[in-house]
Structure 1
Amino acid sequence: MNHAEWKTRRHCALLGETVEENPEYDRLYEEAELAHDLGQLVYDRRSVLGLSQAGLAERCGMKQPQISRIEGGGTMPTIPLLRRLARALDADPTIELTPHHAAA
C-alpha cells in the first residue's frame, strides 16, 4: 500500500466511510495504477538491458533510491524526467490518449 492509499483509507476511517464510498479513492487508485504500470515498464526495460538500478540512475543523472521509488510505483515522474529515463533506457517515450470504450 503506497502513502496516498494509506492516507485515503485513514481519511475514510476518520469520516466513518468505507473506501468504496469515497469518490476520491477511485481517482487515487487510478493514479496508483498508472504509477505501478510505469514502474513495471522501467523495470522490464532495465532488466532487458542488464542494468542495475544504480547503473540506470547513473545513466540518467539520478540516484538509485529514485529509480527504486519509480519502479515500485511510489512516485510519478515528470515528463522531462520520463524523457531522461527513456534516453537512459535506449527507448522512446510514447504518450497515447485512447477514448473510453462506449457501453453497448
Structure 2
Amino acid sequence: MKFKTHSQIHNELMEDPEYRAAWEAEERKERLQKLLVEWKAHAGLTSAQVAERMGIKPPTISRMEKNITSASLETLARYAKACGISNATLYF
C-alpha cells in the first residue's frame, strides 16, 4: 500500500470549494496576524505602547494579535494608525 504525502492530500482537498474557501480564509487571517506584529516591530513599539496610543488595555492588543477575527476593520485601522501606518498604505 502506498501512502500519500501531506501535499498530495492537501492538493486533493483543495479541489473541494468549501475546503478551499476555509483554507484561504485561514491563510488571510494568519497573514494579517503577522502583519500586525510586523507593523508594531517596524514602529519599534511594545504592545503596551500600541494599546496606549489606541486608548485600550494591553491585553486587548495581545488577544487581537492572537485572534484577529475578534477585531473589527475599524479597530485594525486604529492599530495601523497607532503604528504609524497611514490609511493610504493599508493593504489587508
Q: Would you say same fold, with TM above 0.5?
A: yes
Q: 1:24 aligns with which of 13, 18, 41?
A: 18
Structure 1 spans left out of the alignment, 5+ residues: 1-19, 97-104
Aligned-pair identity (%): 33
Query: Which residue number in structure 2 is paired with residue 92 of structure 1?
Result: 86
Q: 2:62 aligns with which of 57, 68, 71?
A: 68
- For 1:67 and 1:92, the matched residues in 2 are separated by 19
Spell out, residue by residue over 1:19-75, the C-alpha distance to the aligned partner (whole angstroms, 9 max, x if none): x38643322222221121111111112112221112111211233233223323x22
Q: 1:63 to 1:35 in 2, by over 3 A?
A: farther
Moved over 4 A (4+): none
Query: Which residue number in structure 2 is paired with residue 58 of structure 1?
Result: 52
Q: 1:64 to 1:26 in 2, by over 3 A?
A: farther
Query: Which residue number in structure 2 is paired with residue 41 of structure 1?
Result: 35
TM-score by length of 2: 0.63
- For 2:21 and 2:57, the matched residues in 1 are separated by 29
Query: Which residue number in structure 2 is paired with residue 80 of structure 1?
Result: 74
TM-score by length of 1: 0.57
Structure 2 spans left out of the alignment, 5+ residues: 1-12
**Residue identity in the other structure for 1:42:** L
Aligned length: 77
Query: Pairwise CA RMSD of aligned residues?
Result: 2.5
Indicate the structure with greater helix content: 2
